[in-house]
Chain A
């Protein structure tokens, strides 16, 4: 039955593509425009990488070997990199135009991935956060996108459990979130050092591995794991935190960092901060780099922040919403949810619309928009 169901989804997908097919027959061909790529769990329990079109069409359906986490979009080739969720060891490089797996990159011996990776701005490299299992030390690994995908640099992350990393646009600076949580593949996803964890935010020279800056939270907040980040052109970093301590203290869950400054904690109004349930899942700047969205999937809400004024703006409901991405409009975001729903929220207009979708699938933690 599961096969029928999947076949059914595929047919439904092609049904929506039909209008463009008929146009193609009229020689008035304009292919469906891709909107976002994301890993997902299909209703039959399998894990897929999908590329969704603007009308919800499925433009790519790639079966993954296991659950993935983040998907990176190449800056100028039709290439997606879908990274295994920690402590996984694969990255699927997929060409969505040719609809094929270009390469399954495997983590090196004694290493695993942490779920995040990016293409460098110039499109030459693939950069990932990794765990050196024996020492428990975090690593930043750069692979060249050429024959054999050779590792051309392997830097320390100066911390434990590095999670998301981003490149400051038009610079050679990487920002890395050292989550601080020690895990070992032999113990699955168990957190082994919650009492002593020391998360940090690292700024690193991509070309040399030089540590430019490293910031920690105040000692009494050491259980706030720095996990998901985004950096704008000015180098400001928005941070989504996860509270690993006792719940019920209503500690802040969002922070911002300006180069050379200590991390500044931001607070939503107490009721909103509380509703976030100690857990933020994703953070993204908008196209302008002034506004940021931070998702709180356990609280079924997305919060929005003005990072010129370092203040909370508003929040909207999104059940199980986690994935965030900027659109090409200022103050506008796309949100994906484990329910399969996707939203577009525009802060200027205060509007939230549900995006069309043709597949029933649980969107995984992160999505990436395609800017074509």
Chain B
């Protein structure tokens, strides 16, 4: 037995050497580096965005309340403006699909989209026909279908109603108010839970009290938030309205408030910030791993996308009928696909497994 073990020493030595060599060549970031990335992303990317969402949605709620109390064209414009600000904030944080925003279907409640079966229209019309005052309570909205309590429902109420429909403290105005209060509550709760709980769970990854077994595992959620939206934006926000040979502008996101293109611009800017805008960033980690050329390519592509998007004429609801716009969007779609490929390749290099069964199951 002893002599056997002795003869095996060279084998053990060989294996140890291999471990060291493999470690050097496949230098994936360390736990410490992942922790540093996660911390930067929480403090400099996620929390600031949820703070802006909380502030803008609170303003929207008070603006809607003021509109119902003292309706007027100026106040309606102000309220619509407050909606635009809130939607800006949401579009900048829409890509974060883990943590408190998942609790109680908050993500769906904030924005149920795409609404392929016009669920929102049907449910909203039913409420507007019934005019039941009980449906105006926050309690009711908490239990109500996701179709009637989010930003798309509020968009319909604020952008397709005439001023007269919103005067005399009408049910329509009160429903707008109730929905905007619900959105503000939702935003507040999401922010609160990030600050008191989820943030700590991320920073204590690997310990008993954390949801995460390691900082690398927590980084997987961050990386998913960066990569998965790229394909979703391409498929849902760009290719779907282009239809199968027939242009369908009303499949665009937020077409009623004429901000479909703005949404995409904000999404890309926000993903670009997630990639390289924080103290420790995916970009800085890649450069530390010696993947400078790849990191440069990603930065270039983000910049190109932002320039391409600037050049598309808004609003899409009308400009989509122009062949030049379609070809511009198809180029953007190609660039997004390329971005998806570049980012996915770097995930493999950094030993990040985004999900096998969850992303491509059967």
Contacts and interface: CB of A to CB of B under 8 A. Distances in A.
B353 A250 contact: no
A248 B105 contact: yes
Contact of A337 (B18, B119, B357): B357
Contacts of A274: 102, 104-105
Contact of A246 (B25, B103, B119): B119
Nearest to B212: A319
Interface stretch (A4-12, A51-59, A136-144): A4-12
B245 interface: no
Given A26-B1, A362-B353, A248 B358 contact: no
Contact of B26 (A5, A337, A363): A5
A12 to B, nearest CB: 7
Given A248-B105, A298-B358, A338 B353 contact: yes
Contact of A248 (B18, B112, B357): B112
Contact of A338 (B18, B22, B355): B355
A300 interface: yes
B116 interface: yes
A300 B356 CA distance: 11
Contacts of B361: 279, 281, 297-298, 322, 365
A275 B353 CA distance: 20
Contact of B357 (A227, A275, A321): A321
Contacts of B8: 18, 22
Given A246-B117, A246-B119, A338-B357, A271 B104 contact: yes
Nearest to A323: B357
A222 interface: no
Contacts of B213: 319
B357 A365 contact: yes
Contacts of A250: 105
A345 interface: no
Contacts of B198: none
Highest count of chain A CB atoms <10 Å: which of B5, B19, B22, B353: B353
Nearest to A340: B353
A323 B356 CA distance: 12
A230 interface: no
A322 B102 contact: no
Interface SS of chain B: helix
Interface string A29-65: 0000000000001000000000000000000000000
B211 interface: yes
A69 B362 contact: yes
Nearest to A321: B357
B87 interface: no
B205 interface: no
B324 to A, nearest CB: 30
Given A11-B18, A317-B211, A339-B353, A247 B108 contact: yes
B335 to A, nearest CB: 23
A151 interface: no
Contact of B1 (A18, A22, A323): A22
A92 interface: no
A85 interface: yes
A8 B353 contact: no
A320 B115 CA distance: 28
Contacts of A69: 362
Interface string A214-228: 000000000000010
Contacts of B104: 271, 274
Given A25-B4, A41-B356, A319 B217 contact: yes
A316 interface: no
Given A22-B4, A271-B104, A362 B362 contact: no
Contacts of B103: 271
B1 A5 contact: no
A247 B236 CA distance: 14
Interface string A163-175: 1000000000000
A15 interface: yes
Interface in B180-212: 211
A281 B146 contact: no
Interface string B331-362: 00000000000000000000001011110011
Max chain B Cβ within 10 angstroms of own Cβ: one of A8, A26, A319, A323: A319
Interface of B: 1, 4-5, 8, 11-12, 14-15, 18-19, 22, 25-26, 102-105, 108, 112, 115-117, 119, 146, 211, 213, 217, 220, 353, 355-358, 361-362
* Pairs of residues from A and B, 5 with the lowest C-beta to C-beta distance, nearest first: A338-B356, A322-B357, A248-B108, A297-B357, A362-B356
25 contacts: A4-B18, A11-B18, A15-B11, A15-B15, A22-B8, A26-B1, A86-B362, A246-B116, A246-B119, A248-B146, A250-B105, A271-B103, A281-B357, A297-B355, A297-B361, A298-B355, A298-B358, A320-B353, A320-B356, A321-B357, A337-B357, A339-B353, A339-B356, A340-B353, A362-B357
Interface of A: 1, 4-5, 8, 11-12, 15, 18, 22, 25-26, 41, 69, 85-86, 115, 163, 227, 246-250, 271, 274-275, 279, 281, 297-298, 300, 317, 319-323, 337-340, 362-365
Given A297-B361, A339-B356, 6 more contacts: A4-B18, A85-B362, A246-B119, A249-B146, A298-B361, A338-B356
